[in-house]
Structure 1
Amino acid sequence: MLPEKLLKEFRSAFGMDPICHDTEKGTCIFEQNGYIVIKTNGVLIAQFKDDESSYGDILSFYAKKAGLLSPAERDIEKILRSMFVNLIVLTEVEDRYGFSHSQRVAKIAEGFAMYLNMKPEEVEDLKNHALLHDVGKIAIEQLMLYSPTRLRTFETHYEDHPTMGTIYLSIHESLWRYIPTVRNHHEKWDGTGFPDKLKGTDIPYFARIIAILDYYDEVTNFVSADWDSEIKTPKQAINEIKRMAGTFFDPDLVNKFVEFMQTVHKIEV
């Protein structure tokens, strides 16, 4: 439990109680031996004296570690996220049904998250991460617009878009939680991706999911010099994803994605 005054301040700031069912999972805040303790996945990351004058600073620290937003920050996040999503969709090519790449990735992310039994708020969160994953390409589109060698410009700067996306999302703290996905969705399981050469489970979880979904939508909708000279069928794309499990993609997530496509989308592989 927490001191009553700190609980009241927490409820006022975030509209909820700081519920922590398991101190070994997630980020938890609680009172212990006269201190306000914050742990992440069971590891102590901060310990404060129980001083009422410091409650505001304690809650601010906890909120950043737990990814919590105040109601006002949630409103700002929603406005900024919508602004970026609109720009992303406007700069992407629509399919015959009127959907863009990021919209399609978000749609399949929503279904995959439900298949993984994520909580409703996690499903919505993954969907939003998917909508923003290519936000950095806005910069490339601007370069291409004013460049006399547009294709060459795109090829030269393609690997910059995760970094550019990171810069865009750094404008406000409410968008920071999307940065790991935006920055790292082109990392590879074997550590040969970009921009940070992350390897295995060092790659953020949502980024590992989006990497698979991004590839699937890319090769089933576009001719890409990075992958092949013709559009793949869903079956071909899934077989390629299986082949790249353990090198490009998280092998456990690949298995679950293949099951999802077989079970929900009825694709035989």
Structure 2
Amino acid sequence: MLPDELVKLFKEAFGKEPICEDPSKGICISKENGYIVIRENGKVIAQFEDNEPDYGFILQYYAKKAGLFAPQDKYIEELLRSLFVNIIVLTEVEDKNGFSHSQRVAKLAEEFARYLGWDESNIQELRNHAFLHDVGKIAIEQLMLYSPTRLRTFEAHYEDHPTMGTIYLTIHESLWKYIPTVRHHHERWDGKGFPDKLKGEEIPYFARIIAILDYYDEVTNFVSADWDSEIKTPQQALKEIKSLAGTFFDPTIVEQFVNFMRDVYNINVQ
């Protein structure tokens, strides 16, 4: 049951009770496991700690997801998002085809969502979240630029980038919808990730998807001390993703992703 004060503010803002007749359709707000949760068509798209000072922010987020925003806000979102995406891509290393990590993850996200049968608006929404997932690394790149020990600086501050990304996206409320993905794409299914140790379905749905896509692209394109000392083949990466289901990754999404890679890219693993 939602807190009385949040219900009161909701009624004042929207002229109705925050009740979902069908939780599997539309935008719904509820309290689950101590968090204020917003669902879209049954899927968790955001969750917030139950702090009364944040209720205004939560209702603004709800209003935007429900389409209760001005056209000017949509224009500002597109402008700011494009600006961040351009900076992100410019600071990332290109592959032999001229694409960067975030571009590849965004492309994979779009293809995966389409494979799952999502409608076009949700496909593009996931794509936008994928483009921005590493926005916090801009801060680390700037820090490294002026550091004489760049690799050590990166290693020391790597776990800060979800928090830094969250800070960046607070510059305008039109970008707040991306915060759950940016902040939580390094959480783990078993609760041992960062920065907030969320576990299972506490982790926002888009963040759970991006976690898998991010890992796949990382290990098939970069040598990473976090994962291995050599670049993995797509088959090796998928095998590792399967082995990490239930600890690092959502088992259901892992199964869907493995099927997607088999059906779309003809990559098979046992």
- TM-score over 0.5 (shorter chain): yes
Alignment of 1:75-224 (within 5 A): 75-224=75-224
Distance 2:227 2:216 in 1: 11
Structure 1 residue 62, shift from structure 2 partner: 5.4
Using a 3 Å threshold, how does the CA distance of structure 1 residues 174 and 234 change in structure 2: closer, same or farther? same
Distance 1:156 1:262 in 2: 37
Return the letter of the residue paired with 1:200: G
Return the letter of the residue paired with 1:241: I
What is the alpha-carbon root mean square deviation over aligned residues? 2.3
- State whether residues 221 and 231 of structure 2, in contact with CA within 8 Å, keep that contact through their aligned partners in structure 1: yes
Which residue in the other structure is 1:234 paired with?
Answer: 234
- State whether residues 61 and 177 of structure 2, in contact with CA within 8 Å, keep that contact through their aligned partners in structure 1: no
Structure 1 residue 22, shift from structure 2 partner: 5.6
Identity %: 72
Distance 2:241 2:235 in 1: 10
TM-score (ref. length: structure 2): 0.79
Using a 3 Å threshold, how does the CA distance of structure 1 residues 147 and 239 change in structure 2: closer, same or farther? same
- State whether residues 61 and 176 of structure 2, in contact with CA within 8 Å, keep that contact through their aligned partners in structure 1: no
Structure 1 residue 24, shift from structure 2 partner: 2.3
Larger Rg: 1
Deviations 1:61-87 (A, max 9, x none): 851463653211110000000000000
Deviations 1:149-202 (A, max 9, x none): 111100000000000000000000100000000000000000000000000000
Which residue in the other structure is 1:252 paired with?
Answer: 252
Using a 3 Å threshold, how does the CA distance of structure 1 residues 201 and 93 change in structure 2: closer, same or farther? same
- State whether residues 241 and 254 of structure 1, in contact with CA within 8 Å, keep that contact through their aligned partners in structure 2: yes
Return the letter of the residue paired with 1:135: V
Structure 1 residue 117, shift from structure 2 partner: 1.0
Structure 1 residue 125, shift from structure 2 partner: 0.3
- State whether residues 209 and 253 of structure 1, in contact with CA within 8 Å, keep that contact through their aligned partners in structure 2: yes
Structure 1 residue 28, shift from structure 2 partner: 6.1
Distance 1:131 1:196 in 2: 22
Structure 1 residue 231, shift from structure 2 partner: 0.3
Return the letter of the residue paired with 1:71: P
Q: Which moved more, 1:241-250 or 1:68-77?
A: 68-77
Using a 3 Å threshold, how does the CA distance of structure 1 residues 133 and 67 change in structure 2: closer, same or farther? farther
Return the letter of the residue paired with 1:23: D
Distance 1:174 1:188 in 2: 27
Using a 3 Å threshold, how does the CA distance of structure 1 residues 170 and 61 change in structure 2: closer, same or farther? closer
Unaligned runs of 5+ in 1: 1-19, 30-38, 43-58
Runs of 4+ in 1 over 6 A off after TM superposition: 39-42
Structure 1 residue 60, shift from structure 2 partner: 6.3
Return the letter of the residue paired with 1:24: P
Does residue 1:24 correspond to 2:23, yes or no?
yes
Deviations 1:8-47 (A, max 9, x none): xxxxxxxxxxxx9963233269xxxxxxxxx9689xxxxx
Deviations 1:97-146 (A, max 9, x none): 00000000000000000111111000000000000000000000000000
Count of residue pairs the alignment pairs up: 225
SS at match of 1:74: helix
- State whether residues 69 and 174 of structure 1, in contact with CA within 8 Å, keep that contact through their aligned partners in structure 2: no
- State whether residues 186 and 193 of structure 1, in contact with CA within 8 Å, keep that contact through their aligned partners in structure 2: yes
